[in-house]
Amino acid sequence: MEAMISVKGLEKSYQSKKSSHQVLKGVSFEVAAGEIFCLLGSNGAGKTTAVNILTTLGLPSAGTASINGFDVVTAADQVRASISLTGQFAATDEMLSGRENLQLIADLRRRKQGKQEVIQLLETFRLTDAADKPVATYSGGMRRRLDIAMSLLGDSPVIFLDEPTTGLDPQNRLAMWELIRDRTAAGTTIFLTTQYLEEAEQLADRIAILHEGVIITQGSPAQLKQEMYCSETDSLPSLEEVFLTHIGENKGVKPCPDLLQAA
């Protein structure tokens, strides 16, 4: 079956007058429909650059990517009709209220039951009390919740969440994970980026570790751990150990020789 997201040899470099900087150096992966896929990496690994290209905000320098069977460059309109994005930075209108922000998205997405959906989302995200206050008066956590509520409005087959829980407190983070799991139950594909290993481990069906523009390994959380398991260690490594070993910064744990060869 064709993958919901398919990325082949994706490259991106930024040219300036003095230098050229390659952010993505040939990234390939596939995401099946209904999966939660997590792109894990440190700051500056290229996660947002990848999200930008997949959501039609940026153009690749080389390689191809398709979503829901549509090429992100040549069929951008169809890609946009298949996705919903929560970017890293709050995408809300400060002068409008939470309700008006949501209603705008409902109008633009031509939701027939828009009003009802907005009321329900406000309820789900515990924003009902502040619904008619301008977003400028919201706390950081409330803005983030509104931002994510705006992305969940509609029935996009693929939802992109670029570091969705950055800036959320622990209980809201847990609640957010719950919501994300609920979404996939309805068949939605989730593309998530995070720098939190725990988040990846909790949520993802599959994880790809992006480091300095290259995917150094990918698989289910269990596979990634298994891959590192070798006779020298007597228990499965934590995902943190897997990650640090892969990016070559694990001073404490000795990596498996096989693994190093593979990388």
Partner 1 sequence: MEATINTSQAIAQPLAQPAAPSLRPIKARQGHLISDSYAMFKRCIRINFRNPDAFGMSIVAPFLMMLLLGYVFGGAMAMGRETYINFIVPSIMLISIAQSTIFTGISVSKEAKNGIIDRFRSMPIAQSSVLVGHVAASMFRSIVVMLAVTAGAFIIGFRPEASAVQWLTIAGLLLLFTLGMTWIAVLVGLTVKSEEAASSSLTMVSLLPYLSSGFAPVETLPAGLRAFAQYQPITPVIDNARALMMGGSISADFAAAILWWSAIAAIACLVAIKTYHRKLTK
Binding residues for partner 1 restricted to 105-144, rule: CB under 8 A: 105, 107-111, 113, 116-117, 120-121, 123-126, 129, 134, 139, 141-142
Contact flag: residue 7 with partner 1 (CB under 8 A): no
Range 64-83, binding partner 1 (CB under 8 A): 68-69, 77-78, 80-83
Beta bridge partners of 7: 29, 65
Over the Cα atoms of the chain, what is R_g? 19
Contact 191, 158 (CB under 8 A): yes
Amino acid at 252: G
Q: How many residues bind partner 1 (CB under 8 A)?
A: 76
* Residue 189 dihedral angles phi and psi, to the nearest 5°: -90, 135
**Tokens representing residue 226 in the block:** 């298994």
Contact flag: residue 183 with partner 1 (CB under 8 A): yes
**Nearest partner of 5 among 60, 53, 74, judged by Cα:** 53
Range 194-213, binding partner 1 (CB under 8 A): none
Longest dimension (CA), the chain: 60
CB of 19 or CB of 261, closer to partner 1: 19
Stretch that binds partner 1, among 104-112, 194-202, 223-231, 242-250 (CB under 8 A): 104-112
User: Binding string, 152-181, against partner 1, x = CB under 8 A?
Assistant: x-xx-x--x--------x-xx--xx-xx--
For 221-261, what is the HEC assignment?
Answer: HHHHHHHHCCCCCCCCCCHHHHHHHHCCCCCCCCCCHHHHH
CB of 191 or CB of 243, closer to partner 1: 191
Stretch that binds partner 1, among 100-108, 213-221, 236-244, 245-253 (CB under 8 A): 100-108
Contact flag: residue 100 with partner 1 (CB under 8 A): yes
The CA-based dihedral angle spanning residues 135, 140, 142, 143, taken in that order and rounded to the nearest 10 degrees: 50
CB of 1 or CB of 234, closer to partner 1: 1
Q: In the set 39, 46, 52, 206, which binds partner 1 (CB under 8 A)? A: 52
CB of 68 or CB of 218, closer to partner 1: 68
